[in-house]
Amino acid sequence: GSIGLTHQECLSSWLKVQRGDGRCELCGYKFRFAPQYAEGAPERLPMWDIVLGISRSAFAKWLPLIIRIFVATALWLLFVPLATAYAYIGWIHSPSTISKRFEWDLVISDTISGAIIAGIIIISFLSLMSFADFLRFNFRRGRQNQNQVQNENNNDANIPPALEEIDDFAAELHRAKRRERRIHYNTENTMEQYNTDISHSEARRIRFDQEMNAEEHIEEALEENVDGRAMMRQRQLDTFEQAVNEDEDAEGEVPPQMGRNIQDEDAVRLDNFLRGMEDDGVVDEPDEDEIAPRQNNPEPAFPPRDPAANQDDMEMNLALDELLGLRGPVGVLVRNISWLMAFNITYLGLFAFLPRFVGATVFHRLLRSAVTGLLSHVTFINNSDITNTTSLGISEVVEQLNSESQRNRRTLQLNDLALLVLGYLSMAALVVFIQVLVSIRKRMRPSDDTVIDHQNQQVNDDNAVRDDQAMDEGNNFAGIAVNDEAIEIRITLGQFLSLALDCAGAFVKVGVLLFLKMLLLPLVLGIWLDAATLTAFNSVPSDRILFAGNDLFSSLSIHWVVGITFMLLVTVSVLQLREVVHPSLFARMIRPQEPQPDLLGNLLSESGTTHAKRMVLSLAIYTFLLTIHIWLPSRILVSTGLDSYVPFLRPHLWYIVTPQLQVPLELLIFHLTMLGFLEKYKNNIGGLQHWWLNAICKPLGLTNYLLPRKIQSFLYIGSKQIFLPKEQKEAEGPVTGLSEKKINTFLEPETEEKITVEQNVDPFWYELAACDGKVDDFVEKQITLVSSAEDSRYEQVQHRSNRRNTLSGSKEYIRLPVCNIEDEIYPDSARNLSDCSDRQKSILISSTLGKYRLRRNKNKGDGAHVEFWKECYGDIIVRPPEGWDDLVAGGAEVQGRWAWGNESKSNIELGVAVRCNFFDHCTSKEKSLYLVLMVILVFLLSWASITFLLIAGLSAPLIIGRMVMVLLRIPSSYIHDPAAFAIGLAGICNIVKEVSSFLRDHDRLIRNWIASFRLPPRRKAFIILQTLIHWCVVIPLIVGVLYDLVIIKPDEWFSGETSLVSANMVFKDWLSGTLLANLWALLCYNSAFTWQFWVNLGNAAFDADDREDGRQNANNRLETMWQGVENGRIAHFFKNLFRAFGLWEWDQIDHQILLSDCIYPIERNAGIALLLPSFTLCLLQLDTSAVVFHLFGFALNGVAKQFVFRTVASWTICFLSIQAFREELDQWFNVLHKAARDDRYLVGEVLLNYVENKK
């Protein structure tokens, strides 16, 4: 087509800019270009030309980019943090101190501190912007709603008393009518402007008709729950159109062109009028959804944007590489850094210097003596010895910490941080004080809003009188706009000041709450936890003081991370325990986790007293759990001397870089990992709690008291008559106020069946209806229990439509007959059931009362009886339910968790049987005491198990990680416990995963495995024996010896100063080789040496471009050779062994898979890598080698032999690697050859024609 006539360079540039993948926008066909080379260009270039071409291309294209990246990285990661640190020092201390910090050690420390300060600036600025957006979109709307409600409440004072006694709908309708009259009154003025020929009486008649129609429309809108704003706007439009039509009819027919002009002019004037009314606050602007149906030509959903606005958006949407200075002009990089530094300096001045200045002023002028005296009386206990305790005041601790920070000349110091916090708290207290004064003034004097409302009412009355005069005199209503504008200015100023104060109060409230809950509380808990375990770690407070003085941010970060981790663990455990035990225990006390779509709104809506109560309660819970689970076990370990045997209490740390940088990075990784771990495995914590309580409550007999159980069936226990027996009535004789012959009516609620009797209702039923608690005691003492000689009657559970479990044929309620409960035979509780006007009404009694179910039996004896059935316990309900923590799914009814408050209960909770009470009439005092002791025993055993799990959970991964490092011959000085813990935790997780999957059906698997055992054939057994010997002995020895000689052996061994071979050395080499060989096999099985593995590990999407095919092909070939779960040789090797030893399928043993494809290649490559350097080392032992070395001026000592051995081993391993990756290297070489040939001989490209892909 015509695209073939375009310039090749233009087409290439357009493709790069437009799409970037070289494909057609319409059909997606990939454009193909044929390269054109100069005449005489060779097909293959010599090696020297390839190296020269690649070097020239690298220097011309890649070297400037590398330099640009290096410069940009240095500026962003070194210059900006260092300049930010200097800006902080200049603001906090003085600019003159900056020049004194130009030392190498201080420059490194200041750079790291500056990076921390810059990160805090970015996070705090983004938080402030987010909160500002929240206030702009939510708080302003809430303020408007509050003002609207307040205005409506003020208008309620003008409502006549007769209307005020009516419900809220009537009052709302009355206010809507008043607003409509005021709106129509102004609309009528507009009509008088245009309809000058209408008489005064005619205008009054039209206004009256419009008011009546408006009231009818508004009433209909309120009844149908329709927004009145759209109705008012529609009514205004209809009124104006009607007035214009009447005007046109009166004036006669208008020419078409003139009619269009008049209509356009009228539409403009109408819009201007309505816009003015909206600006004056008379009419609220309806939503677009309400106006859209009435528009003949609605605007498009996405109108065309202004080119200037598009240009601004393009200016804002800069590419990240251009923003960082990786491409584009260098001036852009300088400009961006300059603006960032100007912002950082200004931000530090406003949010660091000013609060610190306020805090320093308040401290030195008001609080210095009080704080110093208070801190001097508070002591810090130094438990360096259990029997010898020394006390150290907090003031002394602060002084030592400040002196240590000043001695090390650190950027971040405690006194600066304390003054900064004090400054923010002082400003917050000032805002609160102003709010209190304003609230007191509002209580003592009328509010500004009330004054403004009176002014508006007065102005409206004046305007109404002026409008009446204007209708006769022909005046316009310009004066109204002037007066309204003046009032609007006064309203805006008052509302602005009030809104500013409210916004400041919102900032203060949210800031203080977040500071207390998210910063101070975790930090305090972390410090308490450190103090509780200080002796167990064999440390003293001076060690912590020195560390905090040397690196304050790392110290605060450690304590904060420890505290927040403890809070998360406690919160998750308590929430899981709430769902595990019976809902009557903790479901009404502990609030479940709920989604927080509007966290800031919730913080603002709840009162400070509510937040204070929650914080105090949370602090009490955390303190109690910290005492029993942290402090008490550490005391026991120290007193018994077992602390020295707990690995994590004697940590080993090795810092690769400066601790000031390494500690925060490790804490960040740990915190993110812990969040992900708890999010993924929190239900496993609940499952473990359920398993433990189920296992321990069964032998102690506490299952029916603590755990939820299903209702299996109902047991008949007795019955009770509804009416008093005749014998009892005759014995009691006539009662005052009660006739001898009293007719009562029993009305069935559903069937409306009436039963008329001459008896009175038993007072038991009224007492039962009024019984608040202890229904069990009351019922079983009053009803006629079934005889023990009778056979027990059971009935199965019936599931009703309302999800309740009840008896078959029973109703949801039982209605008591009509009677006069003023009679003296009825107790006082019966008289309190209803008001005086309702005392002749019947009372409903639920058929579900605790563990009892009620069902009326009308065929028993001479009167109506009610049967009582008791729940029978079934199976234990497995908790927690699957997916109960899904916050998006819905409430308790959907999730299956226990309901909170007024939530609808789930089917699971409705089917839970009532638990047994520890203290009831059926339980003796001895049994109650026994149950209490058993509960205490459960608490003690749970405490011991949690303590053991904590110690084991922290020690086991650390032990495994240290063992791995010991097997790898890493010196103890280079062992880093966080890395060892991560290694051990990864191994334990994999082991637990495999073991748990096996234990789910271990009985059947073990029985089948034993039953299907059979001896292998001799030939297959020989192959298995060969495989095991080679994999478990030979390969580990080769790999271990090679690792020992290349990495571990010192130069003394090569010089012959130590023994060459020993049994201990061979055993260690075998252990190291076993670990390395199996680790390599595990990585190959999981395709760890492929590109896709690391892409998936980083949770990133694979880039679908031309390079994807090559990488996938390479990875597929490698997977076919060694890697992969399906096609890899390692996978086939282990699957073959599993079939042999797991399923006893000896016929599946294949010599090719086990030995030829796996064992022999590994041994061959590892043997070559070991034998060739060893042969070289043997040659070095000859005297000739020493002579040769002396000829070149070198001494053949242990260092030289070690160097030669490791060099030969490295080259051998490189050669073997090149041979293994020869196909990939061949592809890379072809790419380099093509790049060098194109760079030297390519003169252009020709677009190839479209070729249809024929399948």
What is the per-residue pLDDT across 529-561, written as a single tens digit (0 to 9) for each?
Answer: 999 999 999 888 888 888 998 899 999 999 999
The residue with greater pLDDT, 392 or 1144, is 1144
pLDDT of residue 846: 79
Is the per-residue pLDDT at 1251 higher than 60? yes
The residue with greater pLDDT, 1075 or 329, is 1075
Is the per-residue pLDDT at 933 higher than 70? yes
Work out the pLDDT band at 839, boundaries 50, 70, 90.
very low
Phi, psi of 522 (to 5 degrees): -65, -35
pLDDT of residue 428: 92
Is the per-residue pLDDT at 166 higher than 80? no
Q: What are the tokens at 188?
A: 């009528």
| DSSP of 651-672 | -----SS-HHHHHHHHHHHHHH
Work out the pLDDT band at 1013, boundaries 50, 70, 90.
confident
Angle at 422 between CA 419 and CA 424, to 5 degrees: 115
Average pLDDT over residues 1030-1041: 94
Q: Which of 9-23, 1057-1071, 1118-1132 has the highest mean pLDDT?
A: 1057-1071
pLDDT of residue 117: 94
Q: What are the tokens at 13?
A: 């540039």
Work out the pLDDT band at 815, boundaries 50, 70, 90.
confident
Lowest-pLDDT range of 709-718, 819-828, 854-863: 819-828
Is the per-residue pLDDT at 399 higher than 70? yes
Work out the pLDDT band at 381, boundaries 50, 70, 90.
low
Is the per-residue pLDDT at 1060 higher than 90? no
pLDDT of residue 223: 43
pLDDT of residue 378: 64
pLDDT of residue 748: 43
| Residue reference for tokens 């020992």 | 1044
Average pLDDT over residues 307-323: 53
Is the per-residue pLDDT at 268 higher than 80? no
Q: 631 CB contacts (<8 Å, ≥6 apart)?
A: 532, 533
Helix axes 1222-1241, 47-57, angle to 10 degrees: 70
Rg (CA), the chain: 43
pTM to 2 decimal places: 0.74
Q: How does pLDDT run across 627-638, given as a tens digit for each residue?
A: 999 999 999 999
Q: 240 CB contacts (<8 Å, ≥6 apart)?
A: 187, 190, 191, 266, 270
Lowest-pLDDT range of 138-142, 155-159, 715-719: 155-159
Q: What are the tokens at 449?
A: 């809003």
From CA 838, how far away is CA 820, in angstroms rounded?
10
Q: Are 1206 and 1042 in contact (CB under 8 A)?
A: no
| DSSP of 99-114 | GGG-SHHHHHHHHHHH
pLDDT of residue 389: 46
From CA 758, how far away is CA 742, in angstroms rounded?
5
Work out the pLDDT band at 273, boundaries 50, 70, 90.
very low
From CA 603, how far away is CA 166, in angstroms rounded?
36
pLDDT of residue 337: 93
β-sheet bridge partners, residue 784: 719
Q: How does pLDDT run across 56-113, given as a tens digit for each residue?
A: 877 887 888 888 899 999 999 999 999 999 999 999 988 988 988 888 889 999 999 9
Q: How does pLDDT run across 1184-1235, given as a tens digit for each residue?
A: 888 888 887 788 888 888 999 999 999 999 999 888 888 878 888 888 888 8
Lowest-pLDDT range of 334-343, 520-529, 902-911: 902-911
Q: Which of 251-265, 892-906, 1088-1102 has the highest mean pLDDT?
A: 892-906
Average pLDDT over residues 444-451: 56
pLDDT of residue 787: 66
From CA 36, how far away is CA 38, in angstroms rounded?
7
| Residue reference for tokens 């599993």 | 1138
Work out the pLDDT band at 456, boundaries 50, 70, 90.
low
Q: What is the residue-averaged pLDDT of the chain?
A: 75
Average pLDDT over residues 746-768: 57
Q: 1019 CB contacts (<8 Å, ≥6 apart)?
A: none
Query: What's the distance, CA 659 to chain centroid?
Result: 30
Average pLDDT over residues 22-47: 80
Lowest-pLDDT range of 483-497, 566-580, 1007-1021: 483-497
| DSSP of 515-530 | IIIIIIHHHHHHHHHH
pLDDT of residue 179: 56
Average pLDDT over residues 913-921: 82
Indicate the residue type of 768.
L
Lowest-pLDDT range of 142-146, 182-186, 299-303, 715-719: 299-303
The closest of 737, 648, 738, 714 to 851, measured between CA atoms, is 714
pLDDT of residue 990: 80
Average pLDDT over residues 714-737: 63
Is the per-residue pLDDT at 158 higher than 80? no
Is the per-residue pLDDT at 801 higher than 60? no
From CA 299, how far away is CA 67, in angstroms rounded?
53
Task: Report percent pLDDT > 90 for the chain.
Answer: 25
Q: Given the DSSP bridges, would you call strands 754-757 and 1242-1247 parallel, antiparallel or unpaired?
A: unpaired
The residue with greater pLDDT, 998 or 1218, is 1218
Q: Are 976 and 653 in contact (CB under 8 A)?
A: yes
